[in-house]
Amino acid sequence: MVPEISIIIPAFDEAERIGTSVSKILHYLASEAMNAEVLVVDDGSADSTAVVAEAALAEFPNIPGRVVRYDLNWGKGFAVRTGLTAAAGRIALFSDADLSTPIEEMNKLVDPIRNGESDVTFGSRALDRTLIGTHQPWRREQGGKVFNLVVRTLTGLSFWDTQCGFKAFEMKKFRPLLDVMQIDRFGFDVEFLYVANLRGLRLKEIPVRWNNDDRSKVSVLRDSVRMFDEVRQIRRNARNGAYGGGR
Ligand SMILES: Nc1nc2c(ncn2[C@@H]2O[C@H](COP(=O)(O)OP(=O)(O)O)[C@@H](O)[C@H]2O)c(=O)[nH]1
Ligand SMILES: [Mg+2]
């Protein structure tokens, strides 16, 4: 049976968190009787991420699940694209391995795609800040606001939080766009939204619950410098026509 939904979890050195997260997702899918598959993409982890994920998936043999892995760490963007390419579902949703947005929120993203209102839906921490339980450290949260301001200025997109690790796609429309995506690390979310918007897909930013997990894998200094570079690269690519024509 073709799954309706593919859930993709990009994972880099997540041996500590991935087992619990996969279990939570599978319990939820089972309790809701959803027709879904789960794909963990091991982004070149040096730890036992793949083994732990496989063990957790094996506990629900009725839910299709697998680990896709490769040896080098290419970055979250590359990992998510790998998962989307392998996805069989009509709708694909990716979620961070720490489930900062609880999986119970998934229908908020999936329903507008199911009923044909939207093509890309994405979780947001900016539209309703009362939904944030545990906040990120102050510096990181402010950094996020600055980053989103830069994104709005440089790309012309009108969204408030492009970076939440919880996004869903109507795959018939989004799959062809994967070919032009070039950003491998944390700037990929911006590229996804930019290209989808340019190509006329219907995007919707949706407030979701969110809780910071302080075992963050993101290095504020190294990764934010890269992210700003990646946003500038998106602008260059757009100018050079790498993303295809407008509407
Ligand atoms: N840091 C990092 N995370 C990656 C990479 N590839 C995939 N990921 C995954 O991207 C997600 C985001 O990381 P996380 O630590 O939750 O970020 P934060 O909560 O925003 O600080 C997690 O599921 C990671 O396992 C990578 O190369 N670096
Ligand atoms: Mg996280």
Return the amino acid letter for 202: R
Return the CATH number of 5-239, one of 3.40.50.970, 3.90.480.20, 3.90.550.10, 3.40.50.300. Answer: 3.90.550.10
Q: How many residues does the chain have?
A: 247
Question: What's the CA-to-centroid distance between 116 and ligand 1, angstroms?
Answer: 30
Cβ of 180 closer than 6 Å to ligand 1, yes or no, is: no
d(CA 76, CA 96): 9
3-state secondary structure of 23: helix
Question: What's the CA-to-centroid distance between 148 and ligand 1, angstroms?
Answer: 18
Radius of gyration, alpha carbons of the chain: 17
98 CB-near residues (< 8 Å, 6+ apart)? 17, 21, 213, 215
- What is residue 218's predicted lDDT score, i.e. its pLDDT? 85
The residue with tokens 């290419």 is 74
d(CA 54, CA 225): 34
Contact indicator for 39, 86 with CB cutoff of 8 Å: yes
d(CA 92, CA 76): 16
3-state secondary structure of 181: coil
**Probe target for ligand 1 pocket from 67, 93, 210, 217, with the most ligand atoms within 8 Å of CB:** 217
Ligand 1 atom closest to residue 96's alpha carbon, by position in its atom list: 23
As residues whose CB is below 5 A from the ion ligand 2, the structure lists: 96, 98, 100
- What is residue 246's predicted lDDT score, i.e. its pLDDT? 54
Cβ of 80 closer than 6 Å to ligand 1, yes or no, is: no
Domain locations in the chain as residue ranges: 5-239
Tell me the pLDDT of the chain (247 aa) as tens digits.
899 999 999 999 999 999 999 999 999 999 999 999 999 999 999 999 999 999 999 999 999 999 999 999 999 999 999 999 999 999 999 999 999 999 999 999 999 999 999 999 999 999 999 999 999 999 999 999 999 999 999 999 999 999 999 999 999 999 999 999 999 999 999 999 999 999 999 999 999 999 999 888 888 888 889 999 999 999 999 999 999 865 4
> 41 - beta bridge partners?
10, 68
Ligand closest to the CA atom of residue 96: 1
- What is residue 247's predicted lDDT score, i.e. its pLDDT? 44
